[in-house]
Amino acid sequence: MVPRMGDDAPDQMASEAKDYDRDLGVIEAITFVTRSCPSGVVVSVAEQALEAIKAGGSDVMKQQAYFVLTSMKGWRGDRATQVHRSLTKYLDGGAAS
């Protein structure tokens, strides 16, 4: 299969079991964006979000999760679906950080 623009980048965490049905925590989801998304712009947004969360803590987590989620347009694949679902659940109040 030929990868398409926007598909998951090769997962850099090869030793990890690929359980895409599991909900991720916010930090974990954003970290996966930095490691798996092929878009440099989206990766940059995710890296900035992690820095903002490190500086501002839980007070800025929802805002940063929203920024990452809205930047992810065009990213496709199992990991993208998992990250999108996890961040959406968190923002809707259905998951813990």
Give pLDDT tens digits for 53-68: 999 999 999 999 999 9
In a domain, 70, yes or no: yes
Residue range of the domain that includes 78 = 26-91
Full-model pTM: 0.79
In a domain, 36, yes or no: yes
- Are 33 and 42 a contacting pair, CB within 8 Å? yes
Render pLDDT for 16-53 as a digit per residue (tens, 0 to 9). Answer: 557 899 999 999 999 999 999 999 999 999 999 999 99
In a domain, 4, yes or no: no
In a domain, 14, yes or no: no
Between 26-36 and 40-56, two packed helices, what is the crossing angle to 10 degrees?
Answer: 150
pLDDT of res. 19: 86
In a domain, 10, yes or no: no
Domain count, the chain: 1
In a domain, 34, yes or no: yes
In a domain, 69, yes or no: yes
